[in-house]
Chains A and B, each alone.
Chain A
Amino acid sequence: MSEIKNNNLASSPFIPSPTSVGKIMRSVIYALIPGIAIYILFFGWGVLINILLAIVASLLFEWFMLVVCRRPVRVFLFDGSAIITAILLALALPTIAPWWIPVVGSFFAIVVAKHLYGGLGYNVFNPAMAAYAVLLISFPLEMTLWSVPLESIKSNLGFLNSINFSFYRELPPSLNFDAITSATILDQLRTEIGLGHSIEKVVNSSVFGFVAGAGYEWVNLGFLAGGLWLIYRKIITWHIPVAMLLGLLSISTFCYLLDAEQFSSPWIHLFGGASILGAFFIATDPITASTTEKGRLIYGFCIGLLVFSIRAWGGYPDGVAFAVLLIGLTVPLLDHYTAPKVYGARKGYDKN
């Protein structure tokens, strides 16, 4: 028995890890499914086409970059991170966007925002949001034409027709372009307030559903369900979503109470636009978010404040993407100053 040699280079612990990166990414994808399903239900196949296009493009670009950067392809290609980036990007795009929008977006997200900054775990900016920002600024027209809920056009733009539209911009004869596009609730509010009209008008218009944008509010509820499931499964912690929604809620309530004519109600802010998606899926991206508990609370809260600020006073109708990107820049600072006091630290300072 004395000839048994041990690989004594390894260190404890000798217990296998119960989670893996793949498991976490897959859980996030599952959590997105209810929201996506509702999205398809209300708005047709466009979103699914975008998602599929984005996934295929992302995986292709990911494979290409892994080969070029000489990283192990099998390990990284299917770890789920590229797929999540693709889905989040596709969800941020209008469903009637042409096919090359998700492809160009994927290129920027995967090649530039992710791999050129170092690959998985090293990217500074949330790739999906960075890509969205680039697309929004570069192709404002395509990025601001949003679809109406299907029931309002009383026809189902079928799967094949959707593909047709995406690739060839051809619609079936019964529909015309103007009929299927409309501004989003936040768009509408912005223009109307800018014009000096009261919010009442918008709230009573056809764009409005029960609490926020028609159709979109249900989608957000779907994402809320998914997000709560993620917290329950301990894939993400409650700090960032709660802090972000609290931040958004607090400042929007405050402003709404100040002037109900100028500022939309907090419910519109919570359930309109990408607030819920942002709170549970975008801001919680672990690689770009803060890592300490206190830091996360501050991070989420600041994003909430900034989202409202951009919506109310900024140049874009929805500020989630920009808010996440901007506050993400402050993460190293937050991490540095919110380090918890180590066990047994003597009063006054926590260094030796």
Chain B
Amino acid sequence: MRKLWRFTGGIKLKGFNKPSNTSSIHQIPIPEKLILPLRQHIGEATEPLISIGQRVFKGELLASSTSFISAPVHASSSGTIVDIGKYSIPHQSGISETCIVIETDGLDEWDSNITANIHPEKLSRENLHTIVKSAGIVGLGGAAFPSAAKLKPTRKINSLIINGVECEPYISCDDALMQSRPDEIIRGVILLQRMLEPNECIIAIEDNKPKAIDSLRTALEKLANAGVLDTTNISVIPIPTIFPAGSEKQLVKVLTGKEIPQHGLPYEVGVVCLNVGTTSAIYDAVYHGQPLISRVVTVTGSEVNQPDNYNVLLGTPVVNLLNAAGSIGFSKYKLIMGGPMMGMNLPNSDVPVVKATNCILVEKAEQEKGTKVMPCIRCGTCTTVCPMKLLPQQLYWHAKSKNLEKLDHFNLSDCIECGCCAVVCPSKIPLVHYFRYAKSEKKEHEIKLKIADQSRIRSLVRESRLEKSKREQEERKAKRKAERKKKKASIPKKDKAIEGQSTSVPEKIEDKGVKTKKVAKIAKG
């Protein structure tokens, strides 16, 4: 039995309507339109490589970026590019970003360049890494961080953790994936082992998913017995069900007892953590040459009669997914992408499913009245449940008064926005909203400071330049005056005409000098 540690805080969430059937994943029909945002990941947006009117095949590269932290975008189905423009993206703000829109032809033809790798074991580490990068694989647990950037750590990795925890209530896409594709997941893990060469490999699953645990253990045994691949370092470890055990920082603590340093990354403690969905996508990319073009999405919520898991093409508008799930028919509902603890409100149902979409929740729209927020009674329950050992109460007070210094002192940037504090607050204070608000104020303030610094420097440079030119002009004037005096003294009358001319030129310079003097005056005051 592997020793497990506990992380401070966390809450036990019970009684949420999970899909009754997690053993199979349903397909949905190909939508007429696929909307693919150029940025579905953390990092730089991609640039389109195709043009409007071009016909593309399934899996064809549509956009990429040269930045290190980025992931290319591929066509999820065959069709014609009808637009590259601003469309609503799945974000709280309702802001539109550039998307590639494909009108599908229903044929779903694969790009002919995509071929399976018959001997994946012969591929070198570099090859594997390039395949993962060019397949556009990002973290499918919800964070969407380009996985290739994680797979080149600069120090020895001790543990590779495959995150099958899925601690957020309602979501079961990983559960379903682990039950229907366990063999592929294990093979993906072995590929990762080849890339990272860790000492051990742990597949962590919450203990409320016994079927998934069994499924993976069975697949592991089968592969071990087949004797073809080396599975000796891989183990499936169930961990206690507490939210947010699936959060990377907390999971690392539970499995290794180490804490990822503040503002640091897991590789600093010798750990790399990847989601099971990502692992399965890596398998697809290496074994079948297929880029990331679809993912499993859970459709559930209090307003859904039959919650279920679906394999969805990226770029499918959410409304298509809702139609397939059969959950429409009432007028007042709200859509949430993600889980109830950390998800975000969607502006409308036309937004597409992107790489980060793990769940679509359909919930009753809130009544107009809203919840009554009481003053903070300083009960301290928020402090007890915070998994990052922060003081949400203090952060709340200082976020309210926008005291950026104090927020820094209490480590606002370490908040993972898990929502534990807000759920237990008896006064129903929207703590996470306050923290997000404070974080965006801080970001804006830092940007303003940078701009102000820049402006200050430019202003100073300009002033010194103007002063310099003013000084030079006065020197030149003085020199000319002196020369004219000399000339006047030695030259007779007939050259007065030339004098007249020569004096007009200094006047012009004087005019300009006056103007610059005026401007310099404004600048100097």
Separation of A102 and B425 alpha carbons in the complex (Å): 33
Which of A4, A21, A120, A122 has a CB less than 8 Å from the CB of B348? A4
Separation of A13 and B431 alpha carbons in the complex (Å): 9
Across the interface, which residues of B come within 8 angstroms of A24, CB to CB?
377, 379, 426
Chain B, range 400-439, C-beta contacts under 8 Å to A: 408-411, 413-414, 417, 419, 422-428, 430, 432-433, 436
Across the interface, which residues of B come within 8 angstroms of A79, CB to CB?
374
- The answer to whether B369 has its CB under 8 Å from any CB of chain A is no
Chain B, range 437-467, C-beta contacts under 8 Å to A: none
Chain A, range 95-136, C-beta contacts under 8 Å to B: 119-122
Q: Report whether A2 and B377 are in contact in the complex, using a CB–CB cutoff of 8 Å.
A: no
Separation of A43 and B377 alpha carbons in the complex (Å): 34
A-B contact pairs, 19 of them (CB 8 A): A4-B331, A6-B334, A6-B335, A7-B334, A10-B345, A11-B344, A13-B419, A14-B336, A15-B419, A72-B372, A121-B427, A286-B378, A291-B378, A340-B389, A340-B391, A343-B389, A343-B414, A344-B259, A352-B411
Separation of A13 and B341 alpha carbons in the complex (Å): 4
- The answer to whether A174 has its CB under 8 Å from any CB of chain B is no
Q: Report whether A343 and B387 are in contact in the complex, using a CB–CB cutoff of 8 Å.
A: yes
- The answer to whether A176 has its CB under 8 Å from any CB of chain B is no
Separation of A3 and B319 alpha carbons in the complex (Å): 11
Stretch with Cβ within 8 A of A (4 or more), from B186-194, B260-268, B286-294: B260-268
Q: Least Cβ distance of B256 to chain A in Å?
A: 13
Q: Least Cβ distance of B443 to chain A in Å?
A: 15
Q: Report whether A13 and B346 are in contact in the complex, using a CB–CB cutoff of 8 Å.
A: no
Separation of A8 and B88 alpha carbons in the complex (Å): 13
Q: Least Cβ distance of B334 to chain A in Å?
A: 5
Chain B residue, CB-CB nearest to A288? B378
Chain B residue, CB-CB nearest to A14? B340
Sample of 5 further A-B pairs with CB below 8 A, known A23-B426, A121-B375, A351-B411: A12-B343, A14-B363, A15-B419, A21-B374, A342-B390
Q: Least Cβ distance of A330 to chain B in Å?
A: 15
Q: Report whether A13 and B342 are in contact in the complex, using a CB–CB cutoff of 8 Å.
A: yes
- The answer to whether A173 has its CB under 8 Å from any CB of chain B is no
Q: Least Cβ distance of A336 to chain B in Å?
A: 9
Across the interface, which residues of A come within 8 angstroms of B270, CB to CB?
none
Per-residue 0/1 for A286-300: is the Cβ within 8 Å of any B Cβ (1 yes, 0 no)? 110101110010000
A-B contact count (CB 8 A): 180
Q: Report whether A4 and B335 are in contact in the complex, using a CB–CB cutoff of 8 Å.
A: yes
Q: Which B residues have a C-beta under 8 Å from some C-beta of A?
A: 7-8, 13, 92-94, 169, 249, 253, 259-264, 319, 322, 328, 331, 333-336, 338, 340-350, 361, 363, 365-366, 371-372, 374-381, 383-384, 387-391, 393-394, 408-411, 413-414, 417, 419, 422-428, 430, 432-433, 436
Chain A, range 6-64, C-beta contacts under 8 Å to B: 6-8, 10-21, 23-24
Report the 10 A-B pairs with minimum CB-CB distance, sorted nearest first: A13-B419, A121-B375, A11-B433, A8-B345, A286-B379, A291-B380, A344-B262, A343-B388, A19-B426, A14-B340
Q: Report whether B375 and A350 are in contact in the complex, using a CB–CB cutoff of 8 Å.
A: no
Separation of A14 and B411 alpha carbons in the complex (Å): 24
Q: Least Cβ distance of A24 to chain B in Å?
A: 5
Chain A, range 47-100, C-beta contacts under 8 Å to B: 72, 75, 79
Q: Which A residues have a C-beta under 8 Å from some C-beta of B?
A: 1-8, 10-21, 23-24, 72, 75, 79, 119-122, 237, 286-287, 289, 291-293, 296, 335, 339-346, 350-352
Which of A4, A7, A344, A351 has a CB less than 8 Å from the CB of B260? A344
Separation of A301 and B116 alpha carbons in the complex (Å): 70
Q: Report whether A7 and B365 are in contact in the complex, using a CB–CB cutoff of 8 Å.
A: yes
Q: Report whether A344 and B261 are in contact in the complex, using a CB–CB cutoff of 8 Å.
A: yes
Q: Is the interface of B mostly helix, strand, loop or mixed?
A: loop
Separation of A10 and B366 alpha carbons in the complex (Å): 10
Q: Report whether B13 and A15 are in contact in the complex, using a CB–CB cutoff of 8 Å.
A: yes
Q: Report whether A14 and B391 are in contact in the complex, using a CB–CB cutoff of 8 Å.
A: no
Which of A1, A119, A340 has a CB less than 8 Å from the CB of B349? A1
Which of B365, B376, B408 has a CB less than 8 Å from the CB of A352? B408
Q: Least Cβ distance of B403 to chain A in Å?
A: 14
Across the interface, which residues of B come within 8 angstroms of A121, CB to CB?
374-378, 427
Across the interface, which residues of B come within 8 angstroms of A2, CB to CB?
319, 348-350
Separation of A122 and B426 alpha carbons in the complex (Å): 16
Q: Report whether B333 and A4 are in contact in the complex, using a CB–CB cutoff of 8 Å.
A: yes
Q: Report whether B343 and A120 are in contact in the complex, using a CB–CB cutoff of 8 Å.
A: no
Q: Report whether A1 and B322 are in contact in the complex, using a CB–CB cutoff of 8 Å.
A: yes
Q: Report whether A343 and B340 are in contact in the complex, using a CB–CB cutoff of 8 Å.
A: no
Across the interface, which residues of B come within 8 angstroms of A346, CB to CB?
261-262
Across the interface, which residues of A come within 8 angstroms of B379, CB to CB?
24, 286
Chain A residue, CB-CB nearest to B262? A344
CB within 8 Å for A344 and B264 given contacts A8-B93, A17-B428, A287-B378: yes
Which of B348, B372, B375, B423 has a CB less than 8 Å from the CB of A5? B348
Q: Report whether A7 and B347 are in contact in the complex, using a CB–CB cutoff of 8 Å.
A: no
Q: Report whether B334 and A345 are in contact in the complex, using a CB–CB cutoff of 8 Å.
A: no
Across the interface, which residues of B come within 8 angstroms of A6, CB to CB?
334-335, 345-348, 365
Q: Report whether A10 and B383 are in contact in the complex, using a CB–CB cutoff of 8 Å.
A: no
Separation of A19 and B169 alpha carbons in the complex (Å): 19
Q: Report whether B348 and A291 are in contact in the complex, using a CB–CB cutoff of 8 Å.
A: no
Q: Report whether B432 and A122 are in contact in the complex, using a CB–CB cutoff of 8 Å.
A: no
Which of B13, B263, B319, B393 has a CB less than 8 Å from the CB of A1? B319
Q: Report whether B319 and A342 are in contact in the complex, using a CB–CB cutoff of 8 Å.
A: no
Separation of A344 and B262 alpha carbons in the complex (Å): 5
Separation of A4 and B332 alpha carbons in the complex (Å): 8
Q: Least Cβ distance of B291 to chain A in Å?
A: 29
Q: Report whether B249 and A343 are in contact in the complex, using a CB–CB cutoff of 8 Å.
A: yes
Among A16, A287, A289, A352, max chain B CB count under 10 A is at A352
Across the interface, which residues of A come within 8 angstroms of B262, CB to CB?
342-346, 350, 352
Among B259, B366, B374, B428, max chain A CB count under 10 A is at B374
Q: Report whether A287 and B93 are in contact in the complex, using a CB–CB cutoff of 8 Å.
A: no
Across the interface, which residues of B come within 8 angstroms of A18, CB to CB?
423-424
Q: Least Cβ distance of B370 to chain A in Å?
A: 9
Separation of A291 and B396 alpha carbons in the complex (Å): 13
